[in-house]
Structure 1
Amino acid sequence: MSAAPSPVLPALALLSALASGPAAASVLKLDGIPDEPIWHDAQVFDDFRITNPYTLGPPTHATVARLLALPEGLAVAFVCDQPAGTPRVKPRANRDGGSNADRVNFAVDLDGDGRLAYNFMVTLGNAIGDEVITNENQYNADWDGVWRHALHEGEDRWSVEMLIPWSVAAMREGEGAERSIAVYFDRVIAARNERSAAPHASYTRPRFVSEFARVQVPRHRGGGVLAIVPYASVQYDLLHDRGEGRAGLDLFWKPSGRFQLSAALNPDFGQVEADDLVVNFDAIEVFFSDKRPFFTENQGIFNVTTPDSGRLVYTRRIGGGRDDGEGAADIDAAIKLNGSAGGFDYGTLVAIESGHADDIGRAFFVQRLVRNLGNATLGYLGTWTDRPWLDREAQVHAIDAIWRPSAKWLVSGQVLGSSIEQGGETRNGSGAWFRAFYTPEPRFQHELEITHFDRRLDFNDVGYQRRGNLNELEWTSTYRQTGFGDDDWRRSITWAVEPQVRYNDSGDRLPPELLLTANVSLREGGTLYSDLLYAWRGHDDLVSRGHGKVELEPRLRSFYNYYESPRVGRWLWFAGVYVTQEGNEGFAIQPELIARYFIRDDLNVRLQFFPRWSQDWLIWREDTLFASYRRKQQRLDLDVNWFPGSRHELRLKAQWLGIDAYDPTAYRIGAGGRLLESGDSVPAFTSNTFGVQLRYRYEFAPQRELYVVYARGGDERTVYEDGHPRDSHDGLGGLFADIPDLRDADQVLVKLRWAF
């Protein structure tokens, strides 16, 4: 890598002094071809090495990246060699959907402290994506930044230019003529599934953002931005023959680099992005991402997680299901402040739901503080939720830290507590976790994880908590095998072993587990993956929803194998098989097939087919009563994506999940948690769920877009009481034929969003 700062030319110095966007634009022509004289003085990054698979060998084709700091933002250029012998994969894609294409990524940590970074992607099909990276390597694609790009394709190479405004995110202003930032560049050749990067960091390793290249760039003022984004929408309910209109606005203001304000008045949270179809019989809630603009802008500072994928701030709670059970809540207003002051980075979030004054809606408050201490980061998060309908107030306080004592070590941890006041009683809970990564050399990696959540810890009012009442010790060792010859069918193999021991606070042993994995990167670009998860005897203390623990015998928790292909001609496919031991002792098998066919670069079809057969599907019914079923299940997903023009997107998304549960056997929890057959009557049942969304989007300009959405869906569960013969229904075939009758929702939405 060559990254020594170049002296600023007089023309560039003049631009910096005037802070004039139009003047800069006259020097930098954003056309995808970095041939303007200003690029001669850019910082150059040309030492790209293969990081996926993590061999650190030379890439198949050379890539050169350049970086400039201009008054209006960071200018980035990629020049990617790719002669005719390597196929060019360049399908059109919606935003954040270009992962199956040749592409480049630029990531930047604007404060240079390893805490938070932003990733910007451009594909050879001229699609874009952007993500927030927190906790070293956790990506969140919900955020959509405002930035510019251009693409040029030549005979033997292609190139990209990006312009990332300083206003894209909050950052510290600092002092002096220069700013210290950290940057990362990578390039993916899709036909070979090969990623090369400069510097040689990888998101598959514990340290990623903190491994970015630190560079000095001229300091420019990153403020003076005001965006008012009103919306108007009309929704017509075809099921009840009635319409509804809404209007409101989002406001984004950045007067300086150290302060940003986001506000929403009567925000519209109508679904223009369809959630995946889920039918959940488990005791743990399903997590959904959030694409609402207010909750994605400057949200990275609030992304405080726990090792079991919990989140202390889960924005889907705000505007989610009302506490009185009468549908989804409306939000009157929400405001968010981000910035830096007194050496701290801070974030404040306040949201009020409709009807809060009448004891129906909820109120939410979140405060985040982060302090950079050199090779360590210290943070505080506090939340408060008022739920008057439930006579409930909830507070959560957490202190978290990350320490990077050397390039080989990454240590992090958190202590947290909750206080719930409800019905005149107060319930306090606490927890803590510790995690240490040690990487003695590139081939080896070790992780130690210790978690304690007491039984009273509860951060679900505004967070997402998978469970409390947990004491867990986990160790993971990983070995990467590389150095295979050019004639070998393998490029690398990653082996991992992960033992885990868990208890609850009552001293009950939860099933200890051992996970073995092998991930093989193939020479032709595909991936082979296999894992084996075995669990010893232990108790499940969640499955009965508080009505007693259930003893589980030793079992094969999962045996999972799959092959994922690179792009081959017009096809991209995934094939796997999942085997698990369910219930008391029976097995389930689930073949998996995902096929994507690219009819043209602007038109593709994706089909997912996941059938499942179970011998012993155990689900909780009520109190201490369980039922074990034989099950036939089918999941079908169909996605059709068409891009008829550069600003047009048309997408069809259809999902069906059918479940036929039959031959039930009733069980009760007996002594020691053992399940004993009982004489209870439990019915067979079917579950039939279908959803379809047809969405058209036209983009006039960034943050100026029109949506026309048709959505229909339904869910039906049929119970077959004792006395009904097994053939009283037609199984999955009958459920599929009943799709036209599933109509719990049927609506058309038209939404116009226009930034000023």
Structure 2
Amino acid sequence: MTADFPASRLRAGSVLVLTLLVSAPACASIVIDGKLDETEWEQAKRYDDFKVTEPYRLTAPDSGSGTQARLLSTPDGIVVAFVLEQAPAFARVKPRLERDQEDVIDGVNFMVDFDGDGRTAYTFSVGLSGSIMDGVVTNENVPNYDWDTDWSWAVEETENGWQVEMLIPWTVAPMRGTDSPSRNVAVYFSRVLGGNGERQSYPAVSIERGRFVSGFERLEIPQYRKALLHFWPYVTANHDMITGRTKYNGGVDLFWKPSPRFQLSATVNPDFGQVESDDLVINFDAIETFFSDRRPFFTENQGIFDLSTPDQGRLIHTRRIGGDADDGSGASDIDAAIKLNGSLGRLSYGVLAATEDGEAGRDFYAARLLFPVHDKLSIGWLGTDTERPFRDRSAQVQAVDMSWRPSDALVINGQVLGSFIDQRGRSVNDSGAWMRINWTPSESWRYRLEANHVGNHLDFNDLGYQRRASLNEVKLAADYVHRVKDEGANLRSVRWFADLQARSNDRGDRLPTTLAIVNNYNYRSGNRLNFNVSLITSGWDDLISRGNGLWKRSQRYRSEAEFVSRRYGDWTYGAALSMLPQGLSGKATPELELSAVWYPNDEFNAQLIFSPDRGSDWLIWEDGRNFGRYSRRGDYASLNLSWFPGLHHEVRLKTEWASVRADGGQGYILQPNGQMLASGQARADFDVNNFGLQLRYRYLLGPQSDIFVAYSRGGSTFLERDPLGTYDQFTDALELRDSDQLLAKIRYRF
């Protein structure tokens, strides 16, 4: 996990005090200016015992990079400060970044679990340049940075180091037990050195070690009640440069929090225009590509609904709302949506509802309850209902989940769920369940046992994201970290990870078993080497034919090697080589990815990625039991430029090109015995070509208020023709123009 801190401009030798837009309000008598010169800081709780947790060494930081954190509870919120020593031996890495942009830079991070139950924490990061990140961590998972909220921060740089102040308002999250004069919270502090990627943490827990949020430092602080009411009207103008038409739109979002125990979010005619563009993906697989949701209404205070499954599924995937309409007419318009979060005593609850426009519009409903039985055990329930009148379909999902921490070394999570589908008078019901046991007996060893059952007809895709149905799976994993004790050694730590997966579908067909061994090397310089080798046994592939029969897949191997560099002057580099098994033979074919990021100054950065792959055996499904076997050439390239000409100004250029060329195709037919038999029929050569470009300007008007101007162009083609060379394929992509539009948007908070 790297530290991401969007940035603000800092020049060497100068003193910079930064808030996002305006000076932060006073906190009691504390002004958020990065100076820490108020007498109140003398009363703050102090944390000095930081340990190195990335790489996972648990040693004290090197001399010259000491860290101290402070915390105070005030009527306006929790105030946090970092006092950071940074001797000249540790280069200061402080490029300015967009909000929530991941990079290894000098920065600090504060996380707080307001309920102190180890389930949900909110993370706030600030970089030396003033860049920020904020997100939500649920159930020990990695942070979700789609969440953005309103908080204050400031940075001051000195000759010997730098300082940070943060104000986390009481209104950023719903909380239980707000009537008492004090509350028990859990906190975590960390600091990253951009020069070598080292993370120092207190307490010394790591998100890669299985137990994270539940290992935070617990403390009792005074608590205060705070009310909040905001609304955001918006206006957009979208000019289609192909048709020449301009479309105007407007709507309003509302957020009301009369007390810490209750908050309401509502939106009428919400604006979900393409300010954020998805990455380009060419997907011939049977499993849907997952895209995260960046829309503010669906990311704000969504943590209580964040229930996942071991197979990377999500019971609520908000991209379904406003997704492709059931009549195939394109994206649906959303009329309105509402979300309630709150608590009744120890019980937390959430309600979500949304309705789409038009005859093919859908209605979505979700409700969530979460009850902490005691400090180590909590039980939750989730229910969803999706009404799809155009398809005469009604889909409900019910789930009960449990999180139990019988000891500091043992964490047990589980879930039982069921789907209840009625379509055109026919009912289909099924169920599933999973359990995960994480055991961390020592600082070096960690084990995980996981069992997962997904019924043949379990389906939560109407409002969720489900990779597949019909699965029985057992996973056993072991993780060992060797910490090099010699402080003068170039190597800091080595991690070994082994994962054994045995799977079958719910009809009893044995799917391929996988043994994966991962090896990570972390060096004092900040460079990292990663290796991954997998042995995949023979077994049935029950997805590739989309329900038209089983394919008996042969044994195969998979291997990957990756290098991630530290900062070298103005550059960082990355290289990865993968040998991926494809096709009938299972022969591994190479895929290369090269990347570089250039930081000529703190206000500008450029990222380039190029990834070619070549293979002589590529098998893809056509229809029914028919397949094509081709030679394949794939290319992917992206260029991203970010420029910050002023404190409130951001300019971003994002370009992507993805292409696949297939030639020498031969037809194959899947036989009832699971073998592929050549049909003797040739297949036409074809290529798929995708290109996307977005040039975006953003002006920060105020807290959670922006002006956007974005130009977007791109398209996709599928053509049966003789394969083109790489250059010709790229020049053809530049002429793609399925979409060509200019979007202007203003959103202001009152």
Query: Normalising by the residue count of structure 2, what TM-score does the alignment of the two structures yield?
Result: 0.95
Query: Map of 1:703-714 to 2, 5 A cutoff?
Result: 703-714=704-715
Letter in 2 for 1:257: P
2:347 aligns to what?
Answer: 344
2:8 aligns to what?
Answer: none
User: Tell me, what secondary structure is at the counterpart of 2:31?
Assistant: coil
User: Tell me, what secondary structure is at the counterpart of 1:738?
Assistant: helix
User: Tell me, what secondary structure is at the counterpart of 2:506?
Assistant: coil
Distance 1:336 1:126 in 2: 32
1:96 aligns to what?
Answer: 100
| CA offset digits 1:509-532 (Å, max 9, x no partner) | 100110001011112111100000
2:335 aligns to what?
Answer: 332
Distance 1:177 1:328 in 2: 48
CA contact (8 A) 1:130 1:144 kept: yes
Question: Which of 291, 298, 301 is 1:295 aligned to?
Answer: 298
CA contact (8 A) 1:618 1:628 kept: yes
**1:737 Cα offset (Å):** 1.5
Letter in 1 for 2:396: Q
Distance 2:493 2:346 in 1: 44
**1:279 Cα offset (Å):** 1.2
2:286 aligns to what?
Answer: 283
Letter in 1 for 2:444: R
CA 1:320/1:23 → structure 2, altered by over 3 Å: closer, same or farther? closer
2:365 aligns to what?
Answer: 365
Distance 1:562 1:656 in 2: 22
1:51 aligns to what?
Answer: 53
1:38 aligns to what?
Answer: 40
CA contact (8 A) 1:612 1:632 kept: yes
Distance 1:227 1:680 in 2: 65
1:725 aligns to what?
Answer: none
Distance 2:27 2:417 in 1: 49
User: Tell me, what secondary structure is at the counterpart of 1:167?
Assistant: helix
| CA offset digits 1:154-188 (Å, max 9, x no partner) | 00110000001000111113443211111110000
Query: Normalising by the residue count of structure 1, what TM-score does the alignment of the two structures yield?
Result: 0.95
| CA offset digits 1:310-352 (Å, max 9, x no partner) | 0000000000000000010000000000000142100100000
Question: Which of 738, 747, 754 is 2:748 aligned to?
Answer: 754
Kindly indicate whether residue 418 of structure 2 is the aligned counterpart of residue 417 of structure 1. Answer: yes
Distance 2:584 2:489 in 1: 44
1:8 aligns to what?
Answer: none
Distance 2:287 2:485 in 1: 43
Question: Which of 67, 71, 75 is 2:71 aligned to?
Answer: 67
Kindly indicate whether residue 231 of structure 2 is the aligned counterpart of residue 237 of structure 1. Answer: no
Letter in 2 for 1:240: T
**1:533 Cα offset (Å):** 1.0
Query: Map of 1:20-169 to 2, 5 A cutoff?
Result: 24-25=26-27, 27-60=29-62, 61-169=65-173
**1:24 Cα offset (Å):** 4.9
Letter in 2 for 1:639: N
1:391 aligns to what?
Answer: 392
Distance 2:619 2:699 in 1: 47
| CA offset digits 1:39-74 (Å, max 9, x no partner) | 000000111000111110011211000000000111
Kindly indicate whether residue 549 of structure 2 is the aligned counterpart of residue 545 of structure 1. Answer: no
Distance 1:680 1:381 in 2: 51
Distance 1:204 1:99 in 2: 18
* Residue identity (%): 46
Distance 1:177 1:391 in 2: 52
Distance 1:148 1:263 in 2: 24
Distance 1:192 1:511 in 2: 40
**1:373 Cα offset (Å):** 1.7
Distance 2:516 2:319 in 1: 32
CA contact (8 A) 2:392 2:423 kept: yes
Distance 2:475 2:594 in 1: 32
2:498 aligns to what?
Answer: 497
Query: Map of 1:250-649 to 2, 5 A cutoff?
Result: 250-355=253-358, 358=359, 360-374=360-374, 375-556=376-557, 558-585=558-585, 586-649=587-650
CA contact (8 A) 2:176 2:347 kept: no
Distance 2:330 2:448 in 1: 43
CA contact (8 A) 1:142 1:290 kept: yes
**1:139 Cα offset (Å):** 1.1
Moved more, 582-591 or 21-30: 21-30
Distance 1:23 1:381 in 2: 39
Root mean square deviation of aligned Cα:
1.3
**1:23 Cα offset (Å):** 9.5
Distance 1:732 1:24 in 2: 58
Letter in 2 for 1:34: L
Letter in 1 for 2:330: G
2:736 aligns to what?
Answer: 742
Kindly indicate whether residue 657 of structure 2 is the aligned counterpart of residue 653 of structure 1. Answer: no
Distance 1:145 1:423 in 2: 43
Kindly indicate whether residue 177 of structure 2 is the aligned counterpart of residue 173 of structure 1. Answer: yes
Distance 1:38 1:52 in 2: 33
| CA offset digits 1:438-464 (Å, max 9, x no partner) | 111010011000011010100000000
User: Tell me, what secondary structure is at the counterpart of 1:428?
Assistant: strand
Question: Which of 219, 222, 240 is 1:218 aligned to?
Answer: 222
Moved more, 584-593 or 270-279: 584-593
CA contact (8 A) 2:119 2:139 kept: yes
**1:100 Cα offset (Å):** 2.1
User: Tell me, what secondary structure is at the counterpart of 1:491?
Assistant: strand
Larger RCO (CA under 8 A, 6+ residues apart)? 2
User: Tell me, what secondary structure is at the counterpart of 2:329?
Assistant: coil
| CA offset digits 1:616-635 (Å, max 9, x no partner) | 11110110011111111110
**1:390 Cα offset (Å):** 0.6
Letter in 2 for 1:124: L
Letter in 2 for 1:113: D
Distance 1:148 1:675 in 2: 61
Distance 2:678 2:434 in 1: 39
User: Tell me, what secondary structure is at the counterpart of 2:513?
Assistant: strand
